[in-house]
Structure 1
């Protein structure tokens, strides 16, 4: 699509978690469609490299989405440099896996803070701009928002919470002509997913899903679908499309998952003991390293 044909052309779009993975891919797609892109994330070097490769106007801000004051400062700077945002994408996210009983409380809490509190902080920072621009807020959720899985309690709880937050926000701001969308995505080829496959329990759990549900999708494909949904101000977008059908059987899924887990988890544990993964992927490790630095 030529950039002049896109409703995003010339508008400012904010992307959190932009240093790598899906955030970086969406930033590239937004820039290709003519948007001015504000890159927010934790990894300054990665953000700078991405900024330098984008074809249009873009700037980056190294900021923790859970830091209200830091986000407020970044928001002021975004407005001054790029103008008030018309699009805000709450994409920043981390994950960890392993048995809840053995989980590190700080790591478990961090997943919820980034995925849920960080999304709310992102919305709080920029919702006033969206009122001005009649803009659009996209919450990146997950199949985990619809169906909780064992060994991923923090991630599932945080993504379900982010989905609920976005639904509440949508109802609250609809009369202000602000759109709120939710992106339900399945396995996407990012370093987080590749790292998860290094752990036997997470690899096996994915392997026991039905073939369509275990497929990993290219990050560029997912990003393209999400940016098209932004252009059309969709209230929801499902990647792959068949994920929409899971909404129809949502009430029955916890019972099915519990039955399968009761059978499969003892068998898997006999092959290799379950262990906590810590934060997954290079982005998770960067977040953990920065957290250690902040707390001495």
Structure 2
């Protein structure tokens, strides 16, 4: 039941994921929850990891395949190691691991508390590495697939989101390096470049004039906000194909050759927006994006 994701001959045509074991971090809400539902619909047995077991169980209750919920913070290496042991004992070794847990903080760098800035890097970058470290032995035994959820923010440095941009660019680079290291073990590493997605994290984005301006200057298709369920379907298809790169939506793949130009284009829009602000900066202070995420981290 829990063999290699690469051994597709054991599965019915068109069902390469059925019976596999997948781990999804940040599985309690947003894209993580949507991906859990999509993978479960494809026949995957799920291990949902997150900071609040009660929230995880609400997602798990709707899944049609066997699953477990493990309360685990990706910044806690010991907790992740314990989670990995539990996954293998209760479901079998993981064939798919998705490093999806992430947070975003919006605000000027000089008004962002150092601890909050560090927290974004700890979750989005170090947390991804911690996840890979905990589950890599299982992925090596199953010749599995590790998916790093990055962002098109990795293409260009977004003002007012310095920690998020830096962490996602770092996660992108980490995954590329890891890919070369584990290929000899028949482990594939994929990177998902996610664009505007209708999750709780995006709910406050219109309050940021710089981000609003960046979106306004993008071509029509690039401004579209896609539902988390649609993005999850794109990710599920890429996981089934063991894709080295997953673009959600698909159009950013054509922007890869232009990545060196992105920082300059983003900076040009940001400078105009900042100059237009009477105070010289769009707003003061910084906060975690997403009401649910803020409530979770203050509870």
Please classify the TM superposition score into its range, dividing by the shorter chain length.
Answer: over 0.9
Mapped to 2, the partners of 1:214 and 1:195 lie a distance apart of 16
1:247 to 239, 244, 256: 256
> Are the aligned partners of 1:189 and 1:219 in contact in 2 as well (CA < 8 Å)?
yes
Alpha-carbon distance, 1:88 to partner: 0.2
Stretch deviating more after TM superposition (23-32 or 194-203) = 194-203
> Are the aligned partners of 2:81 and 2:134 in contact in 1 as well (CA < 8 Å)?
yes
Deviations 1:32-90 (A, max 9, x none): 11110000011222101111111110110111001000111111111111000000000
Do the aligned partners of residues 101 and 58 (structure 1) sit closer, same or farther apart at CA in structure 2, a change above 3 Å counting? same
- SS of residue in 2 equivalent to 1:60: strand
Q: Which residue of 2 aligns with 1:121?
A: 130
Mapped to 2, the partners of 1:25 and 1:190 lie a distance apart of 10
Q: Which residue of 2 aligns with 1:294?
A: none
Q: Which residue of 2 aligns with 1:207?
A: 216
> Are the aligned partners of 2:238 and 2:246 in contact in 1 as well (CA < 8 Å)?
yes
Q: Which residue of 2 aligns with 1:70?
A: 79
Mapped to 2, the partners of 1:253 and 1:191 lie a distance apart of 26
Q: Compute the TM-score of the two structures, normalised by the length of structure 1.
A: 0.92
Stretch deviating more after TM superposition (206-215 or 74-83) = 206-215
Do the aligned partners of residues 72 and 282 (structure 1) sit closer, same or farther apart at CA in structure 2, a change above 3 Å counting? farther
2:288 to 279, 283, 290: 279
Q: Given the alignment of the two structures, is residue 222 of structure 1 paired with residue 237 of structure 2, yes or no? A: no
1:20 to 12, 29, 37: 29
Stretch deviating more after TM superposition (198-207 or 88-97) = 198-207
> Are the aligned partners of 1:3 and 1:33 in contact in 2 as well (CA < 8 Å)?
no
Mapped to 2, the partners of 1:157 and 1:76 lie a distance apart of 31
Alpha-carbon distance, 1:147 to partner: 1.4
Stretch deviating more after TM superposition (266-275 or 126-135) = 266-275
Alpha-carbon distance, 1:203 to partner: 3.5
Mapped to 2, the partners of 1:164 and 1:34 lie a distance apart of 31
Q: Given the alignment of the two structures, is residue 135 of structure 1 paired with residue 144 of structure 2, yes or no? A: yes
1:192 to 192, 195, 201: 201
1:180 to 168, 186, 189: 189
Q: Given the alignment of the two structures, is residue 152 of structure 1 paired with residue 161 of structure 2, yes or no? A: yes
> Are the aligned partners of 1:96 and 1:276 in contact in 2 as well (CA < 8 Å)?
no
Mapped to 1, the partners of 2:220 and 2:158 lie a distance apart of 17
Alpha-carbon distance, 1:176 to partner: 0.5
Q: Which residue of 2 aligns with 1:98?
A: 107
Q: Name the Cα RMSD after superposition.
A: 1.9
More helix by share: 1
> Are the aligned partners of 1:200 and 1:272 in contact in 2 as well (CA < 8 Å)?
no
Q: Which residue of 1 aligns with 2:6?
A: none
Q: Compute the TM-score of the two structures, normalised by the length of structure 2.
A: 0.91
Mapped to 1, the partners of 2:116 and 2:186 lie a distance apart of 38
Do the aligned partners of residues 175 and 188 (structure 1) sit closer, same or farther apart at CA in structure 2, a change above 3 Å counting? same
> Are the aligned partners of 1:84 and 1:129 in contact in 2 as well (CA < 8 Å)?
yes
Deviations 1:122-161 (A, max 9, x none): 0000000000000000000000111111111000000000
- SS of residue in 1 equivalent to 2:106: coil
> Are the aligned partners of 2:202 and 2:290 in contact in 1 as well (CA < 8 Å)?
yes
Alpha-carbon distance, 1:6 to partner: 1.5
